[in-house]
Amino acid sequence: MTNTHIHKRLNKKLLNLTLGLSIAIGGGSMLFTPDTTHAATATKTNTTTNTTATAAENSSIVNDIIATGKQYLGVEYKFGAKTTTTSVFDCSSFVQYIFKQHGIDLPRSSRQQAKVGTKVTKDQLQPGDLVFSDTNRDGVINHVSLYIGDDKLLQTYRVGVGVTVSKFSGSSWDKTFVTARHVITDDNTGNTGDNGNTDNSGDNGSIDDGNTGGNNENDGTIDDTQPEQSDDSTTPTQSSGNSGHYNRNR
């Protein structure tokens, strides 16, 4: 009898010990689980916050660039405008200048600018994207404009018009659209391309009403009797202040 009682007592102690360990382990898991879940949630929240902050920052930069560009509404167009002046612009010097004011360097010509950033289709255009057109219809990009939303472009073209806001849909730039580029990115730190500050380079002005006639090379006026000159032309111009060749690689 004594041995039986001893075994029963030992079995009871072992059972109690087993139950105690089970409760301790289970309770520990329950205690640690909420902290782990909270940590995962915090990480996800931080990621979302960072993404939102970056998007807001990019949006702010876009708005600032557009605002800067609008400060020059009415400034005259001049093919081959010097990059050191704001009294006249051609299309690519204008875009280069307003982006530069906000720490983003772009190449000098429209053809070079069309290689920067990521490609965007017309139906994906967002404010701040660059729109490139071939108004000569010769397969060569010769015009750049800035999409500012609401189907509008901020740009400069031809003498007598200058810096202006134009409707995109149905325009010459829409009909001769080649590509668009998204150049404002999360890691913009000041450089997005070569800064080709060539004073005597420039872009052909394009035509708002769908007319694809050329620019008179001497004064930028419309000449419907002849096509615009190719961007590859190196024929010297008669414009005052430039003794060299215009780089038509716009």
Which pLDDT tens digit goes with each residue over 78-116? 999 999 999 999 999 999 999 999 999 999 999 999 999
How far apart (Å, rounded) are the C-alpha atoms in residues 151 and 56? 22
H-only helix segments in the chain: 2-70, 91-100, 110-113, 172-175
**DSSP symbol at 105:** B
pLDDT (0 to 100) of residue 41: 47
pLDDT (0 to 100) of residue 58: 84
How far apart (Å, rounded) are the C-alpha atoms in residues 218 and 83? 19
pLDDT (0 to 100) of residue 104: 97
Sorted by sequence, the CB contacts under 8 Å of residue 194 that are 6+ apart come out as 105, 107, 112
Long-range contacts of range 71-74, CB-CB < 8 Å, 24 or more positions apart? Answer: 72/98, 72/163, 73/163, 73/164, 73/165, 74/162, 74/163, 74/164
pLDDT less than 70: residues of the chain:
1-54, 187-250
- Which of 95, 71, 84 lies closest to 143, judged by CA? 95
CB 222 within 8 A of CB 166: no
pLDDT (0 to 100) of residue 185: 84
CB 145 within 8 A of CB 91: yes
Instruction: Give the distance from CA 17 to its chain's centroid.
Output: 67
pLDDT digits (tens, 9 = 90+) for 163-188: 999 999 999 999 999 999 999 987 66
How far apart (Å, rounded) are the C-alpha atoms in residues 81 and 201? 7
At residue 9, φ and ψ (nearest 5 deg) are -65, -40
